[in-house]
Amino acid sequence: MTDPPAPDEPSPPARETAARKPARRPARTRRAPARRTPEPGPVQAVVFVLSGDEYALPIDQVREVITYTEPRNISSGVPWVRGVINLRGTTLPVCDLAARLGRGAERAASARIVVVQSDDGPAGLIVDDVREVLTIAPGRLERLSVTSDPAITGIAKLGERLVILVDATAALAGAGLRPRD
């Protein structure tokens, strides 16, 4: 005759059930995939000259480049707003970008007006000359920490050349170019 199992030992069927039951795992917290800042793509830019130095505007902000036309003076509290011109039936405000950036204000014989599209609408920026349109690889762009001017967005290192990148909307901020209602 066999002895009955001790009171604290489980009976054989109960042991089998306990062995088949999976161990409870702690709840997994789902980790979000690590976010990486996407690498910027190449930037196409219109390169121009101000007081002997090269600057550039992203091509998507440039509508056209026109020959310099003396703007009609208007009363403005902003010293670098030079006036307005008539561009194919549209009154276009014109700003002196060199004066805006604190550069020399002498006008070159080769001066041009770069017509840009900013958040406040179209405007003209007077520059000394327009050189080229070029594509700047992302590895050639660098953010500048030495300026607090929001109009200067970076610098392109192209061999021995340093081309300063300008944002049209930031450059024109404060000019009061927004149309009145």
Q: Is residue 34, in this structure, part of any structural domain at all?
A: no
Q: Is residue 149, in this structure, part of any structural domain at all?
A: yes
Domain count of the fold of the chain:
1
Q: How many CB atoms lie within 10 A of CB 65?
A: 16
Cα angle, residue 126 at apex, residues 131 and 91 outer, rounded to 5°: 125
Q: Is residue 128, in this structure, part of any structural domain at all?
A: yes
Q: Is residue 61, in this structure, part of any structural domain at all?
A: yes
Q: Is 100 helix (H, G, I), strand (E, B) or coil?
A: helix
Identify whether the C-beta of residue 45 lies closer than 8 Å to the C-beta of residue 138. no
- Domain extent, residue 149, equals 43-172
Using DSSP bridges, classify how beta strands 161-166 and 53-58 pair: parallel, antiparallel or unpaired: parallel
Nearest to 53 by CA among 130, 154, 163, 148: 163
Tens-level pLDDT at each residue, the chain (181 residues): 555 555 555 555 555 545 555 556 555 555 544 444 445 689 999 999 998 999 999 999 999 999 999 999 988 888 899 999 999 999 999 999 999 998 876 777 889 999 999 888 899 999 999 999 999 998 999 887 777 889 999 999 999 999 999 999 999 997 776 655 4
pTM beyond 0.75, yes or no: no
| Biggest distance spanned by C-alpha atoms of the chain | 121
Say which amino acid occupies 35.
R
At 73, which CATH number? 2.40.50.180
